[in-house]
Amino acid sequence: MSSEETQIKEVRGLKLYKKKHKVIKKLLKDTSTPEIHGDKVWFSSYLIMDYLLKNPPKLKSHILEIGSGWGILSIYCAKKYQADVVAVDADKNVFPFLDMHAQLNETKVRSKVSRYEKLKGSLLAEQDLILGGDICFWNELIAPLYKLIKKSLKNGVKTIIIADPGRSPFLKLAKKCKKKFNAELIEVKLKDPVKEEGYLLIIKN
């Protein structure tokens, strides 16, 4: 095995570049560094992947990933479920990393630069499922995310799933959603690629 191949790992059937791989190093050198914490794959994405494995969406579903970062969750859905996926992030600098991983996994994901509050009802109305991992880490994000959830349900989105390690802002959002939308908060564990614990907030229309 070449040294380059050892810098690619496989997780949940996906190939992922390690941060020391020359492709990642070149991107970090040639493009602006991602902001808003979009500098790696966060483990909450794997919590959602594991949930979808047990509760798979219909093939070719329309899925929106909000706060996508490198878009590993989007790529997983596109590859495993043949989903039509749009990855949304406020930081345009994450998308070169998404594109390189999509290419590595021989799949395609559309991308869109947008903040939560700027997403239009017409786009939301096209979606069957909205996903987001590690996206509610500041108190300032609670209100726009709550409004997005409300707007998404109004526009007919069937299911919204948000994962988080259990940060205070996320738990505040979950409390509001449980009260208003009869949402479910589930405690889950991750065994690999790291041992972690977290939560899934599941809102169904």
Identify whether 100 is part of a domain: yes
Q: What's the pLDDT at 194?
A: 83
Answer whether residue 14 is part of any domain: no
Of 108, 55, 114, 54, nearest in space to 83 by CA:
108
Where are the strands (E) in 90-154, listed by range? 110-113, 129-133
- Classify residue 140: in a domain, yes or no: yes
Please enumerate in sequence order all residues whose Cβ is within 8 A of that of 77, keeping only pairs 6 or more positions apart, or say none: 52, 57, 61, 63, 65, 83, 85, 131
pLDDT for 4 equals 54
Spatial CB neighbours of 30, under 8 Å, sequence gap ≥ 6 = none
130 residue type, one letter: I
Separation between Cα atoms, residue 156 and residue 100, nearest integer Å = 32
Digit-by-digit pLDDT tens for the chain (205 residues) are 444 556 888 989 999 888 777 777 777 666 655 554 444 577 899 999 999 999 999 999 999 999 999 899 999 999 999 999 999 999 898 899 899 999 999 999 999 999 999 999 999 999 999 999 999 999 999 999 999 999 999 999 999 999 999 999 999 999 999 999 999 999 999 998 889 999 999 999 9
Q: What share of the chain is helix, strand, coil (3-state, %, to 5)?
A: 40, 25, 35
Looking at the domain assignment, is residue 142 inside a domain?
A: yes
User: What is the residue range of 183's domain?
Assistant: 36-204
Q: How many CB atoms lie within 10 A of CB 189?
A: 10
Residue 49 has what pLDDT? 96
Total domain count, the chain: 1
Q: Which amino acid is at 107?
A: T
- 59: domain CATH number is 3.40.50.150
Please choose, from the candidates 116, 118, 159, the residue with its C-alpha nearest in 3D space to the C-alpha of residue 136: 116
Residue 58 falls inside a structural domain: yes
Asked if residue 172 belongs to a domain, the reply is yes
